[in-house]
Amino acid sequence: MKRPGIEQLEVYFPAQFVGQQALEVENGVSSGKYTKGLGQLQMSFCTDLENIHTVALTVVNNLMAKSSIKYSDIGRLSVSSETILDKSKSIKSVLMQLFENSKNHNVEGVDYLNACYGGTAGLFDAVTWVASEDWDGRYALVVCVDIAEYAAGPARPTGGVGAVAMLIGPNPVISLEVGRASYMKHVYDFYKPYLSSPYPVVDGKLSNSCYIEAIDECYEKFLNTMEKRTKKPLKLDDFDHCIFHSPYNKLVQKSYGRLVYNDFLRRPEEYPAFGQFQTFRESKPAETKTDRNVINTFSKAVSKDYETKVGPSTFLPKRVGNGYTASLYMSLASLLVESEIENLLNKRILAFSYGSGLCSSMFHLKIVDDQKRVCDFQRKANYNHRLQDRHEIAPDAFNQILADKESYNEREAMKPKHSTINLYPGTFYVVERTEKGVHSYRMYDGLLNKCNEL
């Protein structure tokens, strides 16, 4: 039976960024701390003209503009985000403004919230809906959108902004295959206890340790699940590509090495050529989560495989930064756009999704063996024109913009003070917020006097 999945995908990120190398200079840290230590190149960010609603409106509007379907063809819409403007009114309800002209109000689904994991929950449920008896023949939309901002300090360079909208249907280019595993646990590694602040409380060392722990647990359970289904051994080599939730690229590199480490512990006899691995035969994963010797040994030994199986998926995240719920799916978009067509047709993708707190899942996807459809998917999902049109902002101006946003009183009326000059045409932006917290938005088309108001 053919599995439902992703028929089309759209990526959005703001039209301005700050360079990580420039941030190193501005912050007075050693050269390479962000570019090599984190593995990041650039970081997208929002001015006061954009918020989580405008970013979501823009990515959905862009997807539908490229699609052959109408808003009346959508029967389910869910939004995954940890960035909220209202503790009650969902982002999904704001997006329903886009459905007004179609008079389609029969659209189920609401918001998902759990750090960076929500997009995966939304994808799972959308596919289940399409495959269920309740499916009415229409498409589902899964929107993953976040603005990752940090207080001034060492965590600020790990921010970013990203949004991905996915059209889910019965005839996918990328299908969600049968078989997955999850690992859930109560941990305070990253959380946002102060509702008046967008900034999280982060225990960086604990968060990295939890991420690796989740990799280990999910991978073991995933292999066990799949081996019961297929009645044959399974390992990393059985997948053509791997994609990961990417808070920063260096963690992705470590994660791929970690999967190889887990393969080695399961079947060390299959790695005779890697003599340096053998010293770790008696190790237990729980004892090596932060062991630099293990991390470096396995990451370096598989660096060539990493460039082939993971490298293409890191292109966009390294230039946009952390998109939280959108991060994994920006990696998926990057894999599809940056890979040669022969490296995509009929290929299998192993995916790892992580959200602090913690929630995590490992699952697998499969790309259709249809060159015309994959090429069309690549063309519509291509984001490189947007990367080329971005404006680089100096670090001091970037820090001032975040300071300006911090200074706004949420109980007072607000009109953005920053210029629309950097917006892409077709971007929704904030017109004003009343003292009661009611926002109004317009779509910018590149001409100051021609804006469509919602």
DSSP string, 358-395: TEEEEEEEEE-S-HHHHHHHHHHH--HHHHHT-EE--H
358: preceding bond cis by omega (within 30 degrees): yes
CATH superfamily, domain at 5-453: Thiolase/Chalcone synthase (3.40.47.10)
Instruction: Dump pLDDT digits (tens) for 105-157.
Output: 999 999 999 999 999 999 999 999 999 999 999 999 999 999 999 999 999 99
> What b-and-e string marks burial along 200-216, b requiring 16 or more CB atoms within 10 Å of the CB?
bebeeeebbebbbbbbb
Catalytic residue among 245, 359, 364, 418: 245
pLDDT at 280: 82
Catalytic residue check, 241: no
Catalytic residue check, 453: no
Q: Is the pLDDT of residue 451 over 70?
A: no
DSSP letter assigned to residue 250: H
- Tell me what the mean pLDDT of segment 424-445 comes to: 94
pLDDT at 2: 77
- Percent of residues, the chain, with pLDDT higher than 90: 84
Q: Is the pLDDT of residue 276 over 60?
A: yes
* Whole-number Å distance between alpha carbons of 258 and 265: 11
Catalytic residue check, 116: yes
Of 160, 155, 146, residue with least CA distance to 43 = 160
Domain ranges of the chain: 5-453
* Whole-number Å distance between alpha carbons of 439 and 430: 7
Contact yes or no for 365/177 (Cβ under 8 A) = yes
The model's confidence at residue 410, banded by pLDDT at 50, 70 and 90, is confident
The model's confidence at residue 279, banded by pLDDT at 50, 70 and 90, is confident
pLDDT at 450: 47
Q: Is the pLDDT of residue 447 over 90?
A: no
Q: How many helices (H) and strands (E) does the chain have?
A: 13, 17
* Whole-number Å distance between alpha carbons of 148 and 159: 5
Of 223, 259, 227, residue with least CA distance to 241 = 259
Contact yes or no for 48/405 (Cβ under 8 A) = yes
Contact yes or no for 354/214 (Cβ under 8 A) = yes
* Whole-number Å distance between alpha carbons of 177 and 300: 31
Longest CA pairwise span in the chain (Å): 69
pLDDT at 449: 42
Instruction: Dump pLDDT digits (tens) for 307-345.
Output: 999 999 999 999 999 999 999 999 999 999 999 999 999
What's the Cα-to-Cα distance from 49 to each of 107, 258, 404, 430, rounded to whole Å? 28, 41, 12, 5
pLDDT at 267: 87
The model's confidence at residue 209, banded by pLDDT at 50, 70 and 90, is very high
Residue 447 vs residue 131, higher pLDDT: 131
Secondary structure (3-state) at 157: helix
The model's confidence at residue 285, banded by pLDDT at 50, 70 and 90, is confident
Instruction: Dump pLDDT digits (tens) for 75-93.
Output: 999 999 999 999 999 999 9
pLDDT at 195: 79
Catalytic residue among 7, 82, 149, 213: 82
Catalytic residue among 46, 116, 210, 218: 116
* Whole-number Å distance between alpha carbons of 21 and 35: 6
pLDDT at 289: 83
Instruction: Please state whether beta strands 16-19 and 391-392 pair in parallel, antiparallel, or not at all (unpaired).
Output: parallel
* Whole-number Å distance between alpha carbons of 330 and 338: 12
pLDDT at 446: 72
Length of the chain: 454
* Whole-number Å distance between alpha carbons of 156 and 329: 22
Instruction: Dump pLDDT digits (tens) for 376-404.
Output: 999 999 999 999 999 999 999 999 999 99
Q: What is the mean pLDDT of the chain?
A: 94
- Tell me what the mean pLDDT of segment 221-241 comes to: 94
pTM, to two decimals? 0.95
Q: Which two tokens stand for residue 207?
A: 């968060």
Instruction: Dump pLDDT digits (tens) for 159-196.
Output: 999 999 999 999 999 999 999 999 999 999 999 998 78
* Whole-number Å distance between alpha carbons of 439 and 100: 17
